[in-house]
Amino acid sequence: MKAFQFVEWQRPGQLREVPVPEPGPGEVLIKVGGAGACHSDLHLLEAPAGSSSVTLPFTLGHENAGWVEQMGSGATGFAPGDPVIVYGPWGCGLCMNCRQGMENYCQTAGKPSPGGLGGTNGGMAEYLLVPATRYLIPLGRLDPREAAPLTDAGLTSYHAVKRSLHLLGPGSTAVVIGAGGLGQMAIQVLKALSGATTVVALDTSPDKLTIAKQMGADEALASGDDGITRIKDITGGQGAEVVLDFVGIDPTLATAARVSRVLGHITIVGLGNAALPVNFHSPATECSVASPFWGSIPELIDVIALAQRGKIKMLVEHFTLDQAAHAYDLLHHGGIQGRAVITPHG
């Protein structure tokens, strides 16, 4: 089968011919409907050689949905043809965090090992091998080609918002910095979970600001000093209860520090790799800072329920496997409006 693989550091991925995997005991083979292209893949592909311990080559695509193709021996609960979405961060299943569904925070050394990100093959191929049925969530009437981004862009944003939900009562303000794939999901999740919160989106791209408004943002502002002033105005000089940074570079972290309030939350989701200085003077007193990774299995079930009720929907652009390198090139240059999704079977 054809697979789009990470072959060489600081080089674009490559389309290669690989064997179709055979599901072993307890495993499931998925016919891939959609595999989303996440900015994290670009961070990895563009990183200096050996920056992480992953072994190359492996198939990219950690945001996957499709149909059950074949159940390995002893695997139960699903049948060939079932539409499913795949939970991505594969843990040990046995440590305390895994047993609570938080395989994203597996405590076993070397785990989680997400398919498509950590050296294990992902979903930018005709078929994907999933190690256990607990990673499959039924999609019902959702189309895997549209739904795939829910398992990362959707889940990561949902988890980031959930952590601060108690701060988002009536009259509160949440700021979303970076209205790309994840940020657009965060805007919708904020509106779905806390309709009384004023949601402000910041981005450097005018197109993304237009989309942010369509996704439900109350205000969409150019990232920079004027945006900061406007947020101060909206919040009566107090700053926002919650600031979600989906970029993570020096200017966005500095913005996050300036627009957050006393007792607020700054949540750094973007892997821009800059550092936020934290001391008594900044950010505001008792503002907490966290950098979450992905989300839990129960949270993915919540995300699918939100999508099934029409509360959240990704703006998706489809590409064939042959076009995968082109899709990443567009993402690198800011040319993807929502999420690029590779559809190996059309």
Hey, which residues between 211 and 270 contact ligand NAD (CB under 6 A)? 223, 246-248, 251-252, 269-270
Location of structure tokens 């800072």? 289
Closest CA to 89 of 79, 74, 104: 104
Hey, which residues between 98 and 127 contact Zn ion (CB under 5 A)? 98, 106, 108
Residue with smallest beta-carbon separation from ligand NAD:
180
The 10 Å CB-count burial string (b at 16+, else e) for 279-289 is eeeebbeebeb
Q: Is residue 115 within the footprint of ligand NAD (CB under 6 A)? A: no
Residue pair 70/21 in contact (Cβ under 8 Å)? The answer is no
Distance of alpha carbon 140 from alpha carbon 272, whole angstroms: 36
Shortest Å, Cβ 159 to Zn ion: 12
Q: Is residue 69 within the footprint of Zn ion (CB under 5 A)? A: no
Stretch that binds ligand NAD, among 10-18, 68-76, 180-188, 306-314 (CB under 6 A): 180-188
Q: Is residue 95 within the footprint of ligand NAD (CB under 6 A)? A: no
Q: Is 39 or 191 the residue whose CB approaches ligand NAD more closely?
A: 39
Hey, which residues between 192 and 211 contact ligand NAD (CB under 6 A)? 202-205, 208
Tabulate helix, strand, coil % of the chain (nearest 5). 30, 25, 45
Q: Is 16 or 213 the residue whose CB approaches ligand NAD more closely?
A: 213
Q: Is residue 92 within the footprint of Zn ion (CB under 5 A)? A: yes
DSSP 3-state assignment of 238?
A: coil
Residue pair 88/115 in contact (Cβ under 8 Å)? The answer is yes
Q: Is 72 or 149 the residue whose CB approaches ligand NAD more closely?
A: 149
Location of structure tokens 């939100």? 306
DSSP 3-state assignment of 235?
A: coil
Beta-sheet pairing, 240-245 with 260-268: parallel
Q: Is residue 113 within the footprint of ligand NAD (CB under 6 A)? A: no
Shortest Å, Cβ 91 to ligand NAD: 14
Q: Is 75 or 220 the residue whose CB approaches ligand NAD more closely?
A: 220
313 interacts with, out of ligand NAD, Zn ion, none, CB within 5 to 8 A per kind: none
Residue among 27, 69, 126, 152 that touches Zn ion (CB under 5 A) = 152
Residue pair 276/268 in contact (Cβ under 8 Å)? The answer is yes
Residue pair 173/234 in contact (Cβ under 8 Å)? The answer is yes
Q: Is residue 43 within the footprint of ligand NAD (CB under 6 A)? A: yes
Residue pair 173/198 in contact (Cβ under 8 Å)? The answer is yes
Q: Is residue 177 within the footprint of ligand NAD (CB under 6 A)? A: yes
Q: Is residue 91 within the footprint of Zn ion (CB under 5 A)? A: yes
Query: How many residues appear in the chain?
Result: 346
Could you list the residues that contact Zn ion (CB under 5 A)? 38, 40, 91-92, 95, 98, 106, 108, 152
